[in-house]
Structure 1
């Protein structure tokens, strides 16, 4: 007899087991379907993270024997920061120079090229091994070319933008910090080098600020932008990224100096103080060895002292020769030495012209007593250069007058808006018939200055000047002019923690 209850219970148990198995299989299938895309996404995320880490640590944790390419080197933080320096400061100086134009714009373009060249060198440093002194000079040659170009533009005759040119030229020497090669290389630390070079350039930059403070704000803006480029711009950049100098690549390419040719060539001038070590190394290498000197002395001692000397007969002695005198007089010797400099001196062609309606140029006038500028205005300047034994009369009001490298020159002028300057002159006479707010006498020997009643309030500045006498009108209209010699000697005494300076007074007794 079949037990139906037991059979029914067995069937129910089998069905429950079948359902549980079916549920488990379905759950596993669903779980696997979910797991596959999750694993793929996780792997992709891990691969992207590893790629980012490798790109970020490419410069510092690169394997040995692998040199970063230019693209990866240009993306490093120090190069990106230099790009920020160019955008924030160099572009500002360039924009100010465009407003001024002329020589200021030209030399500012050279400045921009020099900074761009330094960026290229910084990228190459990350791909190059540290070279020796000769290789370093060759490596930095493009930068030296830019600096030499700026220096050439600031030399020669003084132009209206002389202070702009000198400020830019002197400041660009700060870029030589890149040549720092450690202690003993003859350079200051990179930060100190940048600050020292700017201190040298700031002398001329301050002159631009003073000259154009109340005249043209474009020049003031340019001067301020130039200062910000170096202090704090370049100084802070070097402090943040290259305080101890550039970091060369240990496994990069090499740089060698120029190949020596078989023909002797004229030596090139040293590129900068940073390469002073090359001079010491070349000097030490040029010393003869002990073995070579010993051989020389042995050769000398092996021969008689008089070997190789010719015998002088009586007719060869100076006292017995009839074709030339045996004694040279002292007067003849003086005449030879006196005429030599005059023969070697070169004088350019004389000029007397108005350049671009703004600048009167009077150059190389010798023995001309009737030079006269009759038509001029307050916006024009007068530049007198290389004149001798001549007289110039300026019959109108001008902005500025500069007398440079003149001898026995006389200048008579009416009114000056800015300043009257005498530089590198000897024995000049200057007469002011009107007013002049500032009179500057620099590196001049012998200057007679005649002032009118309207110019007694003038500020007279002297530097390295001797024999300077100022003639002023006396209170009595019928009396002669009163002469006042400006002192050139001073006494410095230490009093109450400070030095007190007083001019030396000479008694006529």
Structure 2
């Protein structure tokens, strides 16, 4: 482990601790308005930014691939901002983390390394445990306590240090006796405090009959609500629109620089002129968060990676390795020379143009749709468009004892 990876792990732990605090607030507080809601999410947002910044500012680090897997996966903490089936957001983040995590697995397999404690599969299990937890307790998003206190007051009470003479918890509920056996680990241990169910109310004081307003008319008369306040309470406030996970990212300045043997091109948006790069055989290129931009790579490079980009047009000459594209929309690629393969993961819409020399290039697609391949195979040098199949029919062949997958062709 490097110092950077340890620092990133500490930030990840902090993120889960801040999210636990946020969930505790929701059990005691009424639904806040949008400014207060965003302020409650600020600690989680700061962790997401810190984890991503550690990856972006330490590209020469020997564990950069691991840093990238964690930086892409930590966005799972943004599930609290999703109203409809938030567990699907966690599943999507798992796919993003696996893009770099599986590279780590392959490198370890090729080197015959022993699996370290921070093995990627252990990280994957956190996603699965979190998704299971959300399915069980928050299938339709975060819920608030309709009879609770204002969220700001609850947040202050949780942030205040506990009194030295009090043994009660921050939620003012009697402490439960320690279980005989410790939790087995995994994500259940993170939220074990929230999974007590009905036992969480055992420490609440029973209300005496003399304090019940519905049994004492005099108490009701003494607590009459004014007309103005009653009119205010007659209508429930409209729920504030929660920010989407993408809004939790702060836009950074455009950047094009060479660090060691890696070019980094990121944060270009609606660039009027093409971004051109002169490369050599030992150099690789990373293109990240570039939208409505054209990037031209001149010369023979090692490998190109594109991630989190929309309406990006990429022109490459010749590559020793592959073009890897992950999480892109309306992507376009033109190959002037030759490349061995193109790998598309979570790509929504793409136009791929191959030259005559690159017609033998292999395409690998995963969770992608709307991919069209344009091949220059005619004598007149005209491109012929060939759509890649997006629908597969699979069935078990009992006669051969094997699974058969066929491309579904629609005639019309």
Q: TM-score, normalised by structure 1?
A: 0.45
Alpha-carbon distance between aligned partners in 1 of 2:249 and 2:68, rounded to the nearest angstrom: 30
After TM superposition, the structure 1 = structure 2 runs for residues 35-434 of structure 1, keeping only pairs within 5 Å, are 156-157=55-56, 159=59, 165=66, 203-208=102-107, 220=110, 223-227=111-115, 261-262=162-163, 272-273=186-187, 275=189, 278-279=192-193, 283-287=197-201, 292=206, 298-303=212-217, 308-311=224-227, 346-356=250-260, 358-434=261-337
Say if 2:108 and 2:114, in contact at 8 Å, map to a contact too: no
- Greater relative contact order (CA < 8 Å, ≥ 6 in sequence): 2
Where 1:425 maps in the other structure, the secondary structure is strand
Structure 2 CA distance for aligned equivalents of residues 369 and 390 of structure 1:
8
Distance, in Å, in 1 between the alignment partners of 2:244 and 2:259 is 35
Q: What's the CA shift for 1:401?
A: 0.5
**In the alignment, what sits opposite 2:396?**
494
Q: How many correspondences in the alignment?
A: 279
- Give the root-mean-square deviation of aligned CA atoms: 5.0
Partner residue of 2:138? none
TM-score relative to the length of structure 2 = 0.54
- C-alpha offsets along residues 54-92 of structure 1, whole Å, 9 cap, x if unaligned? xxxxxxxxxxxxxxxxxxxxxxxxxxxxxxxxxxxxxxx
For 1:506, the equivalent position in structure 2 comes to 410
**Aligned-pair CA distance for 1:343:** 7.5
Report the CA distance between 1:403 and its aligned residue: 0.8
Larger Rg: 1
Q: Whose strand fraction is larger, Structure 1's or Structure 2's?
A: 2
The answer on 1:485 being equivalent to 2:401 is no
Cα distance between partner residues in 1 of 2:189 and 2:243: 41
Distance 1:467 1:260, change over 3 A: same
Unaligned runs of 5+ residues in structure 2 are: 11-46, 71-97, 120-159, 172-182
Q: Distance in 2 between the 1:205 and 1:341 partners? A: 26
Give the drift of 1:461.
1.1
Deviation at 1:392, TM superposition (A): 0.7
Secondary structure of the residue aligned to 1:394 is strand
Q: Which structure features the higher share of helix residues?
A: 1
| CA gap 1:288/1:310 in 2 versus in 1, 3 angstroms | farther
**Separation in 2 of the partners of 1:430 and 1:297?**
73
CA offsets per residue over residues 343-379 of structure 1, 9 Å max, x none? 86521011011113x1111111111143344532110
Indicate if the aligned counterparts of 2:210 and 2:216 stay in contact, CA closer than 8 A. no
Distance in 1 of aligned mates of 2:69 and 2:277: 36
